[in-house]
Amino acid sequence: MPKWGLSMTSGKITDWIVAEGAEVSKGDDLVDIDTEKIAGALEAADSGVLRRIIAVVNEDVPVGGTIALIAPAGVPESDIDEAARLAREELDSGAVEEVTGPVTGTVQVGGRTLSYATLGDGAETVLLVHGYGGDKNSWLFVQEPLSAGRTVHAIDLPGHGESGKDVGDGSLDVLASAVLGFLAAQGIERVHLVGHSLGGAVVVAAAAREPDRVASLTLVAPAGFGDAVDAGYLRGFAAASSRRELTPHLRKLFADPAQVTRQLAEDLMKFKRLDGVQQALDALLATLLDGDAPAIDAAPLLDKVDAPVVVVWGRADQVLPVTNAAALAGQAQVHVVDDAGHMVHMEQPGAVVAAVVGAVEAAAGGS
Amino acid sequence: MTHTLPTRPSLGLDEGGLLDAYRTMRIIREFEERVHAEFATGDIPGFVHLYAGEEASATGVCARLDDRDTIASTHRGHGHCIAKGVDVKEMMAEIYGRSTGSCHGKGGSMHIADLSKGMLGANGIVGGGPPLICGTALAAKQQNTGGVGVAFFGDGASNQGTTLESLNLASVWNLPAIFVAENNGYAEATASTWSVAADNIADRAAGFGMPGVIVDGFDFFAVYEAAGEAIERARDGGGPTLIEVKFTRYYGHFEGDQQTYRGDEVARARETLDCLKRFRERVTESGQLEASALDAIDVQVADLIEAAVVEAKQAPMPTAADLETDVYVTY
Amino acid sequence: MARMISYREAINEALAQEMQRDPSVIVMGEDNAGGAGSPGEDDAWGGVLGVTKGLYHRFPGRVLDTPISESAFVGAAIGAATRGLRPVAELMFIDFMGVCFDQIFNQAAKFRYMFGGKAVTPVVIRTMYGAGLSAAAQHSQCLYPIFTHIPGLKVVLPSTPYEAKGLLIQSIRDDDPVIFCEHKALYDTTGDVPAGSYTIPFGEANVVRDGDDVTIVALGRMVSVAEQAATELARSGVQAEIIDPRTTSPLDTDTILESVERTGRLVVVDEASPRCGMAADISALVAQHAFGALRAPIELVTAPHTPVPFSAALESLYIPDAQRVVNAVKTVTSWER
């Protein structure tokens, strides 16, 4: 059972996508899991055969508990039986060893408090930057896989999550300064930046200001490229004052509207009710939109960046349509992902993880 | 310790102040007499409770107050409103239920208020005012304005629990509050000599840890003197005072009251005790003011009241659109 | 990273944060500090159940103990509110409303309307309600329906610590007189509450649980009773939608009606006694506006028409429990003409 997000303590199996005995490749969807906050599919971390399913449908399993066994076909059945027995015993006893999630902390940058979560340890450092109205938890399916052998930070931008809510004039500069300030405060000299939506424009702006610090850029449905945007979504998100008003807008974020759970909408409303958030969202809205058109033009900023750029976009993105990716064609590898909307890092996290890994490798390759 | 203040010649009031005092009392008198006459024609809806005869109390106290200060009043509130500076024409319009009234026709005689002038409203609940004044006095203290709160209440309200609790609270919290018990001898149809257990309402002051004083309510200068002392004490942080003003009301509890419970005190009072007469006598005998100046005021006031009634009668009524507005600040 | 604090702490935090932010906020009530004039500790109690503890020393001069004279100090809070302060007065038990009700319903509630829209009275009256602590008839009532009846008042019933903090901050910032009702048996319940300040708007119900088979509207402490019932009902395949109105005045009728349009069945759970209460009020609104959607009569689960009994054997019968809610849902789901 994976740890998706800082507060997850257990998940419920809702459907085994793969049957016992079937061959699986790394990255295949294995099982659907429901948590309090989100529903998602766990992807296979290895290739092999799904030899045994341990946790059954509707079972609640604590994070870290073994739910299935994948092994090469050649492993003897008796070994599988023994491992399964131990795994089942551990689940039944309720004493699953606690899995530590990301380490959280805050840092003062430019008079503002920034909250962050760090997972993993390795030579390469990755920084994940969320989009408008999001927070560091939106990387919950991506941070863990990436953290194998890498140091992966996720921050809350000013106005968001647990960071201070003051956003100054709400300009791209303020946000880019926050990112660069975080890196300086943590002594990170070289980083792979990953940004989603508004966060995409932010990391481009940050990279343009300090190109020597940025080893690669992975842009996930970034703002600032192309001329299409669903202004109604952005305005509706900012203005919604109840879960009922917010939910129809949230559905536009996903290819699969069932991703919009009550808990997701409720958590967003709790965020929106915090002192200062409304002002922050309104200020940022002015940065994002000029009337009904996008106000950010990040293309000239990207020209200043030498590092490899990888772009991931959901084909069914309703907020920033995938047609915007054409504006990046000359400068980046663009991966269009099926069965994904604007929140591609939540609906098809494997594709985003692969893109980031690709960017890191391209940077290592010195291209 | 209760004491009765002997009447002394006017102190601290210059010519302008004296003219203002006379004008205020005259406005109150003419306003009430006119309402009495108009009410009898059936043109005025609801209940009115007239202050005629009591003018010296409201005038003498409010002459010591400014915009920092608040007053709370009773159902017999026209005099307090006028003395605290509420617009006379708006008051008349309110009594006629017009949209141009002080409360846009939604309050009526018993609820005329002007919070911008610190007038917390006439109050339809006997004893409703004193707790509110504990509040405004508390606010003045917390905000350091130097302001005071004055609770006017009647002999009837002097027995109400809210009043007694307020006297206690004002002392315990050392509030800049002045409690003015206007004892006009009757609470509705019941004599105060019967309903008030003590000999004087002011005797209760000691029981609540504050000074008490009895004042001749027909004597503007006596009220002015006593109020001045109490208000100064309050402004200086010396806490609350209870002033008992004794006088009589010229009309019934409400207009329409046949007053069969009364003797002949009104006729006597109008003849020999009337506050306006006594004021005029004193200031002209002492040479402080010319009679002609007072006459001029009488004429101006008559015109003002006439205009107020004429305009009120012509003013528009509130409409259906006004019925449900202003229940809340935010909906 | 859930930050679990109690309902009591959430209320204390709301007061402290608002007093920190806005110097016009003051607190007053009987023993809100405790120890006034006594030789021992100041802030000895911090409120009879400790809700206002600590504020006295943190905000000198802004936490006022009062003599036992509700009409005077509740009236004072109201009067002070007309002069730019934002007082939070405590009516220790809602059962004591009788000794100060005039100041609340005839003065505060009516100033704005009676004075033609010229008065602003931003007073909050915090008060404890509810049975379950064997406090007996005069210390256990649910009298919020009486306040709800009065135009000009707003009435708030938080059901969890998260609700309590956000709704109290909203109450203090609201410019109208607010009656903030705290269920005394909820003080020790805990929940996830953000550390920062936040508000929850009035007149916006919380859909605590989604479901398509029946709508349960529950108030205050009854929200958790409804949740227990819903868990049991789910075992037999009945999915209940639970709505917590949060505020009875203003009341979010839209959310309730939308839900009933979908489920066709309504159960209202209210700990208050049945005549002229919220259960009857909500029932009438739904019958009036969603009659065509109803597939069964409305079931009301309330206390009986009695004072609150003392003996635990009787008090446990008095307070609506999950079984009664389950039974009511079974009635409406099995009803046939």
pLDDT tens-digit readout, C244-276: 999 999 999 999 999 999 999 999 999 999 999
* C201 lies in some domain: no
**pLDDT score, position A330:** 86
Q: What is the mean pLDDT of residues B120-138?
A: 96
Do C10 and C39 reside in the same domain of the chain? yes
Q: What is the mean pLDDT of residues B271-277?
A: 96
Predicted confidence (pLDDT) at residue B6 exceeds the cutoff of 80:
no
Q: Which of A6, A241, A270 sits opposite C1 (nearest CB)?
A: A6
Q: Which chains touch C (3 or more CB pairs under 8 A)?
A: A, B
Q: Taking CA atoms, what residue in C is nearest to B137?
A: C80
Instruction: Using alpha carbons, list the distances in angstroms from residue A179 to A110, A166, C96, C296.
Output: 11, 15, 56, 58
**pLDDT score, position A209:** 97
Helix axes B220-235, B15-41, angle to 10 degrees: 110
Interface mutation target, options A242, A260, A261, chain C, most CBs of C under 10 Å: A242
* C198 lies in some domain: no
Q: With an 8 Å Cβ cutoff, is B120 touching chain C?
A: yes
Contact check, Cβ <8 Å, C120/B329: yes
**pLDDT score, position B1:** 39
Q: Is C98 exposed, middle or buried (0-12, 13-18, 19+ CB in 10 A)?
A: exposed
**pLDDT score, position A263:** 85
The residues of chain C scoring below 50 in pLDDT are none
What's the CATH number where C238 sits? Answer: 3.40.50.920
Q: Taking CA atoms, what residue in C is nearest to B116?
A: C118
**pLDDT score, position B170:** 98
Interface of B with C in 128-167 (CB under 8 A): 128, 130-136, 138-140, 142-143, 149, 161-162, 165-166
Residues 6+ away with beta carbon under 8 Å from C292: none
Across the strands, what pairs with A313?
A336
In the block, residue with structure tokens 């939910």: A247
B211-234 pLDDT per residue, tens: 999 999 999 999 999 999 999 999
- Higher-confidence residue of A244 and B160: namely B160
Which residue ranges make up each domain of chain B?
Answer: 2-322
Q: Taking CA atoms, what residue in C is nearest to A262?
A: C210
Q: What is the mean pLDDT of residues A62-82?
A: 92
Chains C and A touch (3+ CB pairs under 8 A): yes
Backbone angles phi, psi at B167, to 5 degrees: -60, -45
Q: What is the mean pLDDT of residues A262-285?
A: 95
**Distance between CA atoms of C3 and C222, rounded to whole angstroms?**
24
C183 is catalytic: no
Q: Which of C57, C139, C149, C305 is catalytic?
A: C139
pTM of the complete model = 0.88
Predicted confidence (pLDDT) at residue B206 exceeds the cutoff of 90:
yes
The domains of chain A, with CATH numbers, are 10-93 (2.40.50.100), 103-364 (3.40.50.1820)
**pLDDT score, position B227:** 98
Do C177 and C63 reside in the same domain of the chain? yes
Do C72 and C165 reside in the same domain of the chain? yes
Instruction: Using alpha carbons, list the distances in angstroms from residue B184 to A181, A299, B247, B321.
Output: 77, 86, 5, 41
Q: Taking CA atoms, what residue in B is nearest to C69?
A: B165
Q: What is the mean pLDDT of residues B302-319?
A: 97
* C197 lies in some domain: no
Contact check, Cβ <8 Å, C78/B131: yes
Secondary structure class of B60 (helix, strand, coil): helix
Which tokens sit at B170?
Answer: 């004002």
Across the strands, what pairs with A334?
A311
Residues of chain A contacting C199 with CB distance shorter than 8 Å: 273, 275
**pLDDT score, position A7:** 75
Do C228 and C149 reside in the same domain of the chain? no
Residue closest to B328 by CA, chosen among C279, C232, A198, C150 = C150
Do C223 and C177 reside in the same domain of the chain? no
**Distance between CA atoms of B156 and B184, rounded to whole angstroms?**
10
Single residue among C163, C192, C221 that ends a domain in this structure: C192
Residues of chain C contacting B106 with CB distance shorter than 8 Å: 113-116
Predicted confidence (pLDDT) at residue B3 exceeds the cutoff of 70:
no
Instruction: Cis check for the bond before A158: say yes or no (omega within 30 of 0).
Output: no
Residues 6+ away with beta carbon under 8 Å from A228: A294, A320, A321, A323, A324
**pLDDT score, position B11:** 57
DSSP run (H or E) holding C249: strand C247-249
The confidence band for A366, taking pLDDT boundaries of 50, 70 and 90, is low
Contact check, Cβ <8 Å, A270/C162: yes
What's the CATH number where C100 sits? Answer: 3.40.50.970
Q: Taking CA atoms, what residue in C is nearest to B123?
A: C107
Show the domain range for C301.
Answer: 206-334
Do C138 and C24 reside in the same domain of the chain? yes
What architecture (CATH level 2) is domain B2-322? 3-Layer(aba) Sandwich (3.40)
Q: Is A327 exposed, middle or buried (0-12, 13-18, 19+ CB in 10 A)?
A: buried
Q: With an 8 Å Cβ cutoff, is C4 touching chain A?
A: no
Do C178 and C216 reside in the same domain of the chain? no
Q: Which of C197, C200, C255 sits opposite A244 (nearest CB)?
A: C255
Contact check, Cβ <8 Å, C82/B132: yes
Predicted confidence (pLDDT) at residue A365 exceeds the cutoff of 90:
no
Buried b / exposed e over B93-122, threshold 16 CB at 10 Å, is: bbbbbbbbbbbbbbbbbbbbbbbebbbbbb
**pLDDT score, position C128:** 97
Q: Which chains touch B (3 or more CB pairs under 8 A)?
A: C
Buried b / exposed e over B221-256, threshold 16 CB at 10 Å, is: bbbbbbbbbbbebbbeeebbbbbbbbbbbbbbbbbe
Do C111 and C64 reside in the same domain of the chain? yes
Domain count, chain C: 2
**pLDDT score, position B111:** 95
* C79 lies in some domain: yes
Single residue among C144, C163, C192 that ends a domain in this structure: C192
The confidence band for B8, taking pLDDT boundaries of 50, 70 and 90, is very low
Predicted confidence (pLDDT) at residue B4 exceeds the cutoff of 70:
no
The confidence band for A187, taking pLDDT boundaries of 50, 70 and 90, is very high
Residues of chain C contacting A104 with CB distance shorter than 8 Å: 1
* C199 lies in some domain: no
* C125 lies in some domain: yes
Chains A and B touch (3+ CB pairs under 8 A): no
Do C290 and C248 reside in the same domain of the chain? yes
Cα distance from C86 to chain B (closest Cα, Å)? 10
Q: What is the mean pLDDT of residues B6-14?
A: 60
Do C213 and C280 reside in the same domain of the chain? yes
**pLDDT score, position C34:** 84
**pLDDT score, position C100:** 96
Q: Which of C1, C2, C196 sits opposite A274 (nearest CB)?
A: C196
Residue closest to A283 by CA, chosen among A202, A136, A168 = A168
Single residue among C133, C168, C192 that ends a domain in this structure: C192
**Distance between CA atoms of A238 and A265, rounded to whole angstroms?**
13
Q: What is the mean pLDDT of residues B117-137?
A: 96
Do C174 and C217 reside in the same domain of the chain? no
Residues of chain C contacting A159 with CB distance shorter than 8 Å: none
